[in-house]
Structure 1
Amino acid sequence: MSVIVFLSAAMALLLMDSALAHGLVEDLEESRIPLILGGLLPVVLWLIYAVGAWRVPPTRGRWLAFHAASLAAALTMFGAFGGWSANSSAIHMIEHMLIMVFIAPFYVMARPLPQWRAISGRTSIWLCMPLLRLSRYPLRAACLQSGAIWFWHTPKLYNLVLARPWWHLVEHVCLALIAGIFWWSILHRRSALALLALLLTLMATGMLGAVLTFAHMPLFDDSSSLQDQQLAGLIMWAPAGLPYLLAGAWCGRRLLSSKYAPSSIKWE
Structure 2
Amino acid sequence: MRRLTATLVLTILLAFGLFVPVQAHETGRSHLEPPGWTLDLSILAPLMLSLALYAIGWRRLRQRSHGGAERLAHRARLFGSGWLVLTGALVSPLHEAGERSFAAHMFEHELIMLVAAPLLVLAEPLAVMLWAFPSGGRRSLGSVTNLRPVEATWLLLSGAVTATPLQAAALWLWHAPALFDLALADERWHAAQHFSFLISALLFWTAMLGRRTAPGVAALCLVGTSIVSGALGALMAFATSPWYAGYARLGMAPFGLSPAEDQQVAGLLMWVPGGLVHAGAALLIMRRLLRPAHA
Tell me which interval the TM-score lies in, with the shorter structure as reference length: 0.7 to 0.9
Letter in 1 for 2:261: Q
**Unmatched 5+ stretches in structure 1:** 1-17, 24-32, 262-268
Q: Is this contact kept in 2: 1:62–1:111, CA < 8 A?
A: yes
Structure 2 match to 1:234: 268
1:161 aligns with 2:166: no
Identity %: 31
Q: Is this contact kept in 1: 2:110–2:274, CA < 8 A?
A: yes
Structure 1 match to 2:141: 123
1:195 aligns with 2:213: no
Which residues in structure 2 correspond to 1:59-70 (within 5 Å)? 59-70=72-83
Structure 2 match to 1:41: 46
| Cα RMSD after superposing both structures | 2.9
How many Å apart are 1:79 and its aligned residue? 4.0
Tell me, what secondary structure is at the counterpart of 1:257? helix
Q: Is this contact kept in 2: 1:43–1:74, CA < 8 A?
A: no
What are the Cα deviations for residues 39-91 of structure 1, in whole angstroms up to 9, with x where unaligned? 33222211111111112245222111101111111121124895221010000
Higher alpha-carbon deviation: 221-230 or 88-97: 221-230
Alignment match of 2:202 (pick from 159, 177, 180): 180
Q: Is this contact kept in 1: 2:226–2:274, CA < 8 A?
A: no
Gap change, CA 1:44 and 1:109, over 3 Å in 2? same
Q: Is this contact kept in 2: 1:34–1:165, CA < 8 A?
A: no
Which residues in structure 2 correspond to 1:72-91 (within 5 Å)? 72-79=85-92, 83-91=96-104
**Unmatched 5+ stretches in structure 2:** 1-22, 29-37, 63-70, 254-258
Gap change, CA 1:137 and 1:259, over 3 Å in 2? farther
How many Å apart are 1:153 and its aligned residue? 0.8
Structure 1 length as normaliser, TM-score? Answer: 0.78
Q: Is this contact kept in 2: 1:132–1:181, CA < 8 A?
A: no
Which residues in structure 2 correspond to 1:129-148 (within 5 Å)? 132-134=154-156, 136-148=158-170
Gap change, CA 1:130 and 1:65, over 3 Å in 2? farther
Structure 2 match to 1:265: none
Alignment match of 1:206 (pick from 230, 233, 239): 230
d(CA) in 2 for partners of 1:144, 1:82: 25
How many Å apart are 1:251 and its aligned residue? 0.8
What are the Cα deviations for residues 119-156 of structure 1, in whole angstroms up to 9, with x where unaligned? 35243774785774245421221111001111111111
How many Å apart are 1:182 and its aligned residue? 0.6
Q: Is this contact kept in 2: 1:80–1:92, CA < 8 A?
A: no
The number of equivalent residue pairs is 234
Letter in 1 for 2:247: D
